[in-house]
Chain A
Amino acid sequence: MTYNKQVIAFEKLPRMLWRFFDFAYGPDSNPIKEWYDKEISDEARLYVDGLLKTNQKIENPLNWMGFRKYLKGALRPHKIWELEFNCDARQYRLLGIFRGEKIAVFLIGCYHKGSNYTPTNALDTAVTRKKKLDQGGAQLHERKIKTDQ
C-alpha cells in the first residue's frame, strides 16, 4: 500500500511545438504565401490559422485536425500528406511533407473536388517542389502562429 505518502507533482515540462514552413523559391517568391494572401477567402485564411494553432500542439500528426495520410499510388514514395478543411462550400487542401524534428513544410495550397485538384497540376507541383527542396534549390519560410488573432 502506498497511502500516507507525500506526493510531489512534477512540474510539467513544456513540449516542443510543431513548426510550419512554407516552401519558397527565394526571399520574395513564396507560393504558399501568395496562395494564402491572394487566392483564398478571409474565412479560409482564418481556418488555416486556426488549424495551425491547434495542430502545433498535437504530438502525433495522425491526430491533427484535417490531416490526411500520405498520398497513394505513384506519389507514395514522396510521403506527401494533405491538410484538409471545408470552407466556402469548397474543399481546401494544403499539401505538405515532414522535414526534421517536428517540422512540417507546405508545398502547395489547392482545392479538391472528386478526384480533381485545382490547379490540376497540384500533385506534380508538390512533387517538383519537394525534389527542389531535397536538392537545396529552395527555401523554407516559417509560418507564424497568430496567437493574437
Chain B
Amino acid sequence: MSERSKLINKLRTSRDFRESYTRAKLRVLVPSQLRALRLRHSMSQPALAAASGMKQSRISAMEQPGRTNFNLETLVRIAATFKVGLAVKFVPFSEMLRWENEFNQDEFNPHAIEDDIEFQVPNIPKHVAEQFRALVAGTTPPKIEEAVSIAIAPLAGGMVIQQSTPHSRGEVPQPIIQ
C-alpha cells in the first residue's frame, strides 16, 4: 500500500487522525500567515503587539508552529489590526491540501481595505482589478478615487491601462514601458 493510500485510509477511518491532519496543517499555515502579514507591514513583534493590544510574548508564540491554540477572537483581532478580513470555513480535504500546496509566505499579501479595489469598487471586472494591481505593484497604490478613473482600452496583444488624469502623487513606476 502506498504512503498516500495509507493516509487516505487513516483519514477515512480515524477521527483522531483527521483531527491531527487538520491541526498540523493549520498550526503551520496560520502562524505563517501571521508572520507574512507582520513582515509585509514591516512590523516588529512588539509593534504588532502594541497595535493589536496583545503582549509581545503572545505574538511570538503565535508565530511558532504548534505553540498556540488560536481562538477565533484572537484571529479576528489580528485581522482587524492588519485591516484585512478573515475567512474560516469548512472545506473538503482536497481544498485544504490545495491551499497548503499553493500557500507561499513570501507572496502572501491580502490587501488592506485601502488597497482593496474589489471591495471599494463593487462589480469592477476582475481583469481591471488585476491590471490595477499590476500597475501599482511595488509602489504606493493610488487612492481608490484615482483608481476608478483608470480607463481600459483594448489593444492588439492585450489590455492597456490608461490613466485619464496624471497621478496626483507624481510618477508611477512601471515594470516595463513601451
A interface residues, Cβ below 8 angstroms from B? 1-10, 41-43, 46-47, 49-51, 53-54, 57-59, 63, 65-66, 84-87, 146-149
Contacts and interface: CB of A to CB of B under 8 A. Distances in A.
Contacts of A57: 104-106
Contacts of A47: 24, 27-28, 65-66
Contacts of B100: 50, 53-54
Contacts of B143: none
B21 A7 contact: no
29 contacts: A2-B174, A2-B177, A4-B163, A6-B155, A6-B160, A7-B161, A7-B175, A7-B177, A42-B10, A42-B20, A46-B20, A47-B27, A47-B65, A49-B24, A50-B25, A50-B28, A54-B28, A54-B32, A54-B100, A58-B104, A59-B106, A63-B39, A63-B106, A65-B35, A65-B63, A66-B65, A86-B65, A86-B67, A148-B4
Contact of A51 (B17, B65, B155): B65
Contacts of B4: 148-149
User: What 6 A-B pairs are tightest by C-beta distance, nearest first?
Assistant: A46-B24, A86-B66, A43-B20, A3-B163, A50-B28, A85-B65
Contacts, number: 116
B41 interface: no
A4 B162 contact: yes
A65 B31 CA distance: 8
Contacts of B170: 1
A87 B27 CA distance: 10
A46 B28 CA distance: 10
B31 A3 contact: no
B27 A8 contact: no
B90 to A, nearest CB: 19
A20 B53 CA distance: 38
Nearest to A1: B166
B178 interface: yes
Nearest to A3: B163
Interface string B144-173: 000000000001001011110111001111
B176 to A, nearest CB: 5
A46 B65 CA distance: 12
Nearest to A68: B64
A3 B32 CA distance: 37
Given A2-B172, A58-B106, A9 B24 contact: no
Contact of B160 (A7, A147, A148): A7
Given A47-B27, A53-B101, A149-B3, A3 B65 contact: no
Nearest to B101: A147
A148 B4 CA distance: 7
B176 A1 contact: no
